Structure 1
């Protein structure tokens, strides 16, 4: 089941991200594995605004989560993490579809994210879910700022990309303008 995250679950979200990061260590991306998850204060901003969802197990404990923000008129997936003990069950995909539905419900045209280009469970996975690579010249100012922040954190030691999935098609009436 997927539901909105509760305030008392924020530390569990940090634990999920830390556990999920271990997979990066296995492919030699130790800095990514050691990257600090968002603080509970940062997570609380998403949670209190209804932009944090969790997938829960049979005991209603979070085992995966997703955070969304608004970036230049699109929904932006800031983070999606699945605990490795619950991986390969479609939870990441289900959470991403919640984000797409959230965007659609607000009339937003797309969902964006940034990702590692060559990590199998990153960009290739998102491409299978309907996301397309955005060339650098098509990055909005907000996406460019996100990429700059990622670069400053050292994440560009491995190829990174921005991706976008169209959520709502433009109205034919708008195409005339």
Structure 2
């Protein structure tokens, strides 16, 4: 599996992977999440995006600097390739990218109780953020404005020494 920067021509494929990776939410009583639109192409173009390819993309991650951290906007692994460590490898790749740019680690927001969300990230060394930075608080507010319940969401952070 090769991790490399995404090519703009691959962005529609990344949207399809995101849609497929959202389908398991339906079984957890979250059909609105499963039916949510993928990240728009213009948003993808404004982020740092990498793919895990074999040889075509099967997973991807997008990040941007926020308040001195690399904020992970999205991680999507196609269900046909889940549970193989691909998501963890993508996170480690972004952690290395962040460190090379002097960023202090990774942040992300996710669902608190979904097994492949917060519990998964906690196994990978992420910890809950008690006091979100202004940029992270703005991300949470934007999620709430899109209809995501802040009580179901959690902000997580991983510093380089927290990685596994």
With structure 2 as the length reference, what TM-score do the two structures score? 0.94
Name the structure 1 match of 2:144: 151
Root-mean-square deviation (CA), in Å? 1.4
Name the structure 2 match of 1:32: 33
Task: Say if 1:85 and 1:158 are closer, same or farther in 2 by CA, change over 3 A.
Answer: farther
Name the structure 1 match of 2:50: 53
Q: How many residue pairs end up in the alignment? A: 161
With structure 1 as the length reference, what TM-score do the two structures score? 0.87
Whether the 8 Å CA contact 1:64–1:91 is kept in 2: the answer is yes
Within 2, Cα distance between the matches of 1:166 and 1:12? Answer: 31
Task: Give, in angstroms, the shift of residue 86 of structure 1.
Answer: 0.7
Deviations 1:63-97 (A, max 9, x none): 10000111111110000000001111111000000
2:99 aligned to 91, 104, 110, which one?
Answer: 104
Name the structure 2 match of 1:173: none
Deviations 1:14-48 (A, max 9, x none): 000000000101111111111111111211222xx
Name the structure 1 match of 2:14: 13
Whether the 8 Å CA contact 1:117–1:159 is kept in 2: the answer is yes
Within 1, Cα distance between the matches of 2:45 and 2:104? Answer: 26
**Structure 2: stretches of 5+ with no match in the other structure:** none
Within 2, Cα distance between the matches of 1:12 and 1:4? Answer: 14
Query: Does 2:132 match 1:139?
Result: yes
**Structure 1: stretches of 5+ with no match in the other structure:** 170-177
Q: Which has the larger radius of gyration?
A: 1
1:70 aligned to 65, 70, 76, which one?
Answer: 65
Report runs of 4+ in structure 1 exceeding 6 Å deviation.
Answer: none
Name the structure 1 match of 2:113: 118
